[in-house]
Amino acid sequence: MKYVFLAIWWLVAAPLVGFSLYAVWKTPALGSLAFLAGSTFLALCTWQMIREGYRSKALLGRSRLGYWAGLLLLPFSLMPLYAAYQVWELGVYTPNYSGLSRGQLITLLLDLLQQVTGPWGPIAVMAAVGLLGPFLLIRVLLSYRR
C-alpha cells in the first residue's frame, strides 16, 4: 500500500513541480518563484507524511507524522490574517451569503460583530485567529522535536 501512495504522490507532485519549474523558466518573476517554493514545500511535506505513516515504530521510535502535518498546515493558518488585511483595505467587512455552507455561521457572527463594533471588530477577530493559529502550530511542531 505504501507504494500505491508513493505512486499517486509521484503522479501529482512531479507535474506540479514540473509546471512550476516551467513557469520560473518562462517568466522568472516573484510570483512564479513563490509558486515553485509552495509546490516544492507541498511535495516535500506530503512525501515525508507518507514515509512517516509507513515507518516501523518498533525500530525507530515514535512517529513524527503530526510534525509534518503541522508543517503542511502552517501556511494555511495565515489565511485569516490575509482576510483581515482585505477587510482593512476595503474599510468594511462585506459578508458573502451565497448559499448554505459550514462557514455561514462564521460569516453571520462577523457581520453581527461589525454591526456592533464597526469594521474593526472583524479585523481584530481575524487578525487574532491569523496570529494565534501559527503560534499554536509552532508549539505542536516544537513538541515533536523532543
Per-residue pLDDT of 34-44, as tens digits, reads 889 989 998 99
Are 123 and 142 members of one domain?
A: yes
Give the residue from 35, 66, 97 where a domain finishes. Answer: 66
- DSSP classification of residue 55: S
Residue in the block written with cell 514515509: 51
- Structural domain of 101: 74-146
Do residues 95 and 108 make contact, with C-beta atoms less than 8 angstroms apart? yes
For 78-88, what is each residue's pLDDT tens digit?
888 887 787 77
> Are 79 and 42 part of one and the same domain?
no
Average pLDDT rounded to a whole number, residues 83-103: 69
Is this structure's pTM higher than 0.75?
no
Judgement on whether residues 94 and 117 belong to the same structural domain of the protein: yes
**Residue 126 phi, psi (nearest 5):** -70, -35
93, 114 contact by CB (below 8 A)? yes
